Structure 1
Amino acid sequence: MNRKLIKYTLRPLWVVFVLGVIGIPSVFLMVKNDAFGWFGSLPSLEALERPDPDLSSELMSADGVSLGKYFRKNRTPVTYEQLSPELVNTLLVTEDVRFKDHSGIDLKGLARAIIGKLTFSFQGGGSTLTMQLAENLFKTNTAEHGSLYRSRTLGQIITKLKEWIIAVQLEKSYTKEEILAMYLNTVEFGSNSYGIKVAAKTFFNKLPSQLNYSESAVLVGAINAPTRWSPVLNPENAHRKRTEVLWNLHKYGLIDKVRYDTLNRDSIQLNYRVENQNEGLATYFRTVAKNYLVRWARQNGYDLFDDGLKIYTTIDSRLQQYAEEAVAEHMDTLQHIFNEHWQGENPWIDNENKEIPEFLDDAIKRTEAYKNLRSRFGDQKDSVDYYLNKKKRMTVFSWGGEIDTVFSSYDSLNYYKRFLQAGFMSMDPRTGYIKAWVGGINHQYFKFDHVQQSRRQPGSTFKPIVYTAAIDNGYSPCFPVVDAPVSFSLPGQDPPTWVPQNSNGRFTGEVMTIRQAMAQSVNSITAFMMNRIGPSTVVDYAKRLGIESRLDAVPSLCLGAGGDVSIYEMVGAYSTFVNKGTYIKPYFISRIEDKNGNVIQQFVPDEQEAINEETAYLMLHMLKGVVEMGTGRALDYELKVDNEIGAKTGTTQNASDGWFIGVTKDLVSGAWVGGDDRSIRFRQWVLGQGGRTALPIWEGYMQRVYADETLGYEKGYFEKPTKPLRTVIDCERYEENTNPTDTVDYDVVDEDDFM
Structure 2
Amino acid sequence: MNSRYVSLLREHCARLLARIRPLLAAGSAAAGRAVSSALRRLRHPTRRGIVLALLAVPALFVAFVLALVPYTPGMGDIRKARIDRPALIVSADGRLLDQFKPVNREWVPLRRISPYMVDALVATEDRRFYEHHGIDWRRTASAALHTFSGDRQGGSSITQQLARNLYPDEIGRAPTLTRKLKEAITAFKIESVYSKDQILETYLNTVPFLYNAYGVEMAARTYFGKSADRLDVLESATLVGMLKANSTYNPVLNPERALQRRNTVLGQMDKYGKLKPGGYAWLVRQPLNVDFEPQSAPPGVAPHFSAQLRKWLSAWAGRNGYNIYADGLVVRTTIDSRLQGMATQAMAWQTNQLQAIANEAWDERTGCWPGNELFQAFMRQTAEYRAARDGGQTDQAALRRLAANPAFVRALCRSKTQVQAGFVAIDPRNGDIKAWVGSRDFREVPFDHVQQARRQPGSTFKPFLYGAAFADGARPSDTFVDRDVAIPLSGHAVWRPADAEPPSGRPMTLRDALAYSRNRITAQLMQKERPEKVAQLARAMGVRESSLEAVPSLALGTSPVTLKEMVSAYSTIANRGAYIEPRMVTRIENHDGQVLAEFPSAVPERALPAGAAQVLVDVMRDVISRGTGNGIRSRFRIYADVAGKTGTTQDNADSWFILMHPQLVAGAWVGFDDGRVTLGDYWGQGAHSALPMVGAFYDMALRARVIDAGARLGPESRPPRVTHPRKQQRHFFFWPF
Whether the aligned pair in 1 keeps the contact of 2:624 and 2:633 (CA below 8 Å) is no
Paired with 1:321 and 1:392, the residues of 2 have a C-alpha distance of 42
Whether the aligned pair in 1 keeps the contact of 2:330 and 2:591 (CA below 8 Å) is no
Equivalent of 1:274 in 296, 303, 313: 296
Task: For 1:323, give the aligned amino acid.
Answer: A
Partner of 2:707: 714
Paired with 1:172 and 1:128, the residues of 2 have a C-alpha distance of 15
Pick closer, same or farther for the CA change 1:77–1:419 going to 2, 3 Å.
closer
The CA deviation at 1:618 is 3.7
Paired with 1:626 and 1:230, the residues of 2 have a C-alpha distance of 61
Paired with 2:706 and 2:81, the residues of 1 have a C-alpha distance of 41
Equivalent of 1:504 in 501, 510, 518: 501
Is residue 432 from structure 1 mapped to residue 449 from structure 2 by the alignment? no
Equivalent of 2:561 in 565, 571, 581: 565
Partner of 2:239: 222
The CA deviation at 1:611 is 1.9
Whether the aligned pair in 1 keeps the contact of 2:540 and 2:607 (CA below 8 Å) is yes
Match runs of 1:423-572 below 5 Å: 423-441=422-440, 449-476=448-475, 479-481=476-478, 484-486=481-483, 488=485, 490-491=487-488, 500-507=497-504, 509=506, 514-527=510-523, 529-530=525-526, 533-548=529-544, 549-558=546-555, 560-572=556-568
Paired with 1:371 and 1:465, the residues of 2 have a C-alpha distance of 45
Match runs of 1:669-680 below 5 Å: 669-680=666-677
Is residue 700 from structure 1 mapped to residue 696 from structure 2 by the alignment? yes
Paired with 1:534 and 1:127, the residues of 2 have a C-alpha distance of 72
Partner of 2:392: 382
The CA deviation at 1:43 is 5.8
The CA deviation at 1:672 is 1.9
Whether the aligned pair in 1 keeps the contact of 2:72 and 2:185 (CA below 8 Å) is no
The CA deviation at 1:715 is 3.4
Aligned partner of residue 222 in structure 1, secondary structure: helix
Partner of 1:625: 622
Deviations 1:535-554 (A, max 9, x none): 44333322221224344444
Pick closer, same or farther for the CA change 1:389–1:581 going to 2, 3 Å.
same
Q: CA RMSD in A?
A: 6.4
Aligned partner of residue 625 in structure 1, secondary structure: helix
Task: For 1:608, give the aligned amino acid.
Answer: E
Paired with 1:533 and 1:168, the residues of 2 have a C-alpha distance of 73
Deviations 1:199-252 (A, max 9, x none): 58867999xxx97556999679734536699897879989x99x99xx99xx99
Equivalent of 1:369 in 375, 378, 383: 383
The CA deviation at 1:574 is 0.5
The CA deviation at 1:576 is 0.9
Task: For 2:73, give the aligned amino acid.
Answer: A
Paired with 2:203 and 2:566, the residues of 1 have a C-alpha distance of 50
Match runs of 1:568-587 below 5 Å: 568-586=564-582
Deviations 1:327-385 (A, max 9, x none): 3332232233244457767669xxxxxx99854565666x47389769x95xxx93585
Equivalent of 1:334 in 354, 368, 373: 354
The alignment-based identity, stated in percent, is: 28
Pick closer, same or farther for the CA change 1:49–1:216 going to 2, 3 Å.
farther
The CA deviation at 1:609 is 1.9
Whether the aligned pair in 1 keeps the contact of 2:477 and 2:511 (CA below 8 Å) is no
Match runs of 1:223-238 below 5 Å: 223-225=240-242
Give unpaired runs (5+ residues) of structure 2.
1-53, 144-153, 275-288, 722-737
What TM-score results when the alignment is normalised by the length of structure 2? Answer: 0.63
Pick closer, same or farther for the CA change 1:229–1:431 going to 2, 3 Å.
farther
Is residue 47 from structure 1 mapped to residue 46 from structure 2 by the alignment? no
Task: For 2:203, give the aligned amino acid.
Answer: Y
Equivalent of 1:691 in 687, 697, 710: 687
Task: Provide the aligned length of Structure 1 versus Structure 2.
Answer: 629
Aligned partner of residue 631 in structure 2, secondary structure: coil
Paired with 1:77 and 1:594, the residues of 2 have a C-alpha distance of 22
Deviations 1:662-699 (A, max 9, x none): 2223332222223445443355x344221112112223
Match runs of 1:608-647 below 5 Å: 608-635=605-632, 640-641=637-638, 643-647=640-644
Task: For 2:664, give the aligned amino acid.
Answer: L
Paired with 2:74 and 2:529, the residues of 1 have a C-alpha distance of 70
Task: For 2:691, give the aligned amino acid.
Answer: L
Whether the aligned pair in 2 keeps the contact of 1:86 and 1:211 (CA below 8 Å) is yes
Match runs of 1:19-98 below 5 Å: 34=61, 47=73, 49-50=75-76, 61-63=89-91, 65=96, 67=98, 74=103, 83=109, 85-87=111-113
Partner of 1:4: none
The CA deviation at 1:730 is 5.2
Deviations 1:55-87 (A, max 9, x none): 99978644364657686xx36695xxx737444
Pick closer, same or farther for the CA change 1:89–1:600 going to 2, 3 Å.
farther
Deviations 1:283-340 (A, max 9, x none): 655666678789x599969999999997956555664554344333322322332444
What TM-score results when the alignment is normalised by the length of structure 1? Answer: 0.62
Paired with 2:318 and 2:182, the residues of 1 have a C-alpha distance of 36
Whether the aligned pair in 2 keeps the contact of 1:457 and 1:564 (CA below 8 Å) is yes
Pick closer, same or farther for the CA change 1:177–1:642 going to 2, 3 Å.
farther
Paired with 1:618 and 1:325, the residues of 2 have a C-alpha distance of 34
Partner of 1:405: 407
State which drifts further: 567-576 or 631-640: 631-640
Pick closer, same or farther for the CA change 1:134–1:87 going to 2, 3 Å.
same
Pick closer, same or farther for the CA change 1:626–1:169 going to 2, 3 Å.
closer
Partner of 2:37: none
Give unpaired runs (5+ residues) of structure 1.
1-26, 115-124, 148-157, 253-266, 349-354, 396-403, 733-755
Whether the aligned pair in 2 keeps the contact of 1:284 and 1:438 (CA below 8 Å) is yes
Whether the aligned pair in 2 keeps the contact of 1:535 and 1:555 (CA below 8 Å) is yes
Whether the aligned pair in 2 keeps the contact of 1:282 and 1:320 (CA below 8 Å) is yes
